[in-house]
Structure 1
Amino acid sequence: MAKKKLLIFPYNGNGIEALDCINLDNFELVGFVDDDLKKNSEQFEIYTRDILQKYKEFYVLAVPGSPASYLKRKEIITSLGLNDLDRFITAIHPNASIGRNVKIGANCLIMAGVVITSNARIKNHVCILPNTVIHHDSVVNDYTLIGSSVLIAGGTTIGESCYIGSGTNIINDVSIGEQSLIGLGSNILKNVTSNSKMVGNPARDLNSHNN
């Protein structure tokens, strides 16, 4: 059976790391799509967005975002004009552990060493970096980025378009409001309201601190 052709957007660290998570028995990488025409690669072809519309049979993995741009992930991914979720793939590293009754949406990237346990739900357009553990019955909503070595205890809900910094620990049964930034190595011991910027142990909201 012919391999499905795949484009990765953009040409960034997440995109390069995604190559280790893609089943190359099923997909053939055509190249990367990027808005920065100054980027170049000796190893990969880099295309403009035009290729997304020219070859509508090509599949896509879209993994933009960083602590500086996480709030724009939804806007950036939507701007690709891929209204059909079926054009997106989800890439799961073979060394990730996905538990019983876990549900994972479209356009998700789950890297090596990630553990997701019973009944957790990962919605669409989520990136999870290496060695993060998401426990039972937790929910990660659309467009959220989760760093490496994060521990999310059972029953936690993380809102849309959040950034959870590497090394963060989140206690069970709390909620993280949408569009929140959790700084590196923070310990979250209570609910976090939307649009917060949490840092420290225990974490405090920089927005409140600055007011």
Structure 2
Amino acid sequence: MQNVIIFGASGHGSVVLDCLEKEGRYNVIGFVDSFKEKGTRINGYQVLGTEIDLPYLINRFNIKGGIVAIGDNWTRKLIVDKISKIVPDFNFINTIHPKAILGKDVLLGCGNVFMPGAIVNANSIVHDFCILNSNSILEHDCVMSSYSSLAPSSCCGGNVILGSFTSICIGTSIVNGIEIGEHSVIGAGSLVVDHFGDNIVAYGSPARIVRKRSAGEPYLSTPKKQQFYKLGSFDDVQSNLSI
């Protein structure tokens, strides 16, 4: 098995670790995290260093690839960009939990996470660095653009298109044929029956736009944790949308 590392050692990183272990295709060496002390143990694995240490870690542990385990879509991009500058040809892998289901002729990019119970049905496309959380559903002929995410128990009907960096939050349902633009967030428990454009926050049943948002604005955190993001931490939080 190829040796791999996980970037991000918080709660989401533990779930990604579980996916990799149960998938059984890779040998996880440890975590890389800029905000946890080197040597800290997470679920039995050590924090090996930061992204800056990556060339050394690749040589020492014969690393063949890795995955970015950061729940926030925009922050995940920042980490991917940082890694790509340090190691331009770094191999970003997918992880597919054995209880996830991928249908016929599904196309996958790189760096994606498919958690337990996630379903991607026939002819759908999942581009790069997407997250399909536990029990999320992407029905037939859907498209998830890069850095988009489905929270636990969210459901997209057939022929849905999600723009880059868009997040569908916990328990949201999207009816067939809907298109949602880039950098948009659909709040928890919503029912989406209309198209939405870029850079919006919408929620409700039926979902309605409540405000505009900017690219990179946190959406997974409490107000206190949002301030923590503003101070520069890439630590992610697995929680509901706070608006």
Query: Taking structure 2 as the reference length, what is the TM-score of the superposition?
Result: 0.78
Deviation (angstroms), 1:96: 0.8
Map residues 58-207 of structure 1 onto 2, 5 A cutoff. 58=63, 59-66=65-72, 70-81=73-84, 82-84=87-89, 87-207=91-211
**Structure 1: gaps of 5 or more residues:** none
Matched, 1:34 2:33: yes
Deviation (angstroms), 1:140: 0.2
Change (3 A) 1:74 1:189: same
Partners of 1:63 and 1:127 within 8 A in 2: no
Amino-acid identity (%)? 28
Kindly report structure 1 stretches of 4+ aligned residues shifted beyond 4 Å: none
Deviation digits for residues 78-136 of structure 1, max 9, x if unmatched?
A: 11224336x11100010111100011110000001111111001000001101011111
Deviation (angstroms), 1:22: 1.5
For 1:111 and 1:160, how far apart are their aligned partners in 2? 20
Question: 2:46 is aligned with what amino acid?
Answer: E
For 2:149 and 2:140, how far apart are their aligned partners in 1? 19
Deviation digits for residues 159-207 of structure 1, max 9, x if unmatched?
A: 0011110100001111110000111111111111100101111111111
Change (3 A) 1:18 1:116: same
Question: 1:202 is aligned with what amino acid?
Answer: P
**Structure 2: gaps of 5 or more residues:** 213-243
The match for 1:52 is: 54
Matched, 1:11 2:9: yes
Partners of 1:73 and 1:161 within 8 A in 2: no
Paired residue secondary structure (2:6): strand
Change (3 A) 1:71 1:26: closer
For 2:186 and 2:89, how far apart are their aligned partners in 1? 31
Partners of 1:126 and 1:142 within 8 A in 2: yes
For 2:32 and 2:193, how far apart are their aligned partners in 1? 40
Paired residue secondary structure (2:13): helix
Higher RCO (CA-CA < 8 Å; seq separation 6+): 2
Which structure dedicates a bigger proportion of its chain to helix? 2
Question: 1:64 is aligned with what amino acid?
Answer: I
Aligned residues: 202
Query: Taking structure 1 as the reference length, what is the TM-score of the superposition?
Result: 0.89
Deviation (angstroms), 1:74: 1.8
Deviation (angstroms), 1:38: 4.2
Question: 2:41 is aligned with what amino acid?
Answer: S
For 1:112 and 1:125, how far apart are their aligned partners in 2? 17
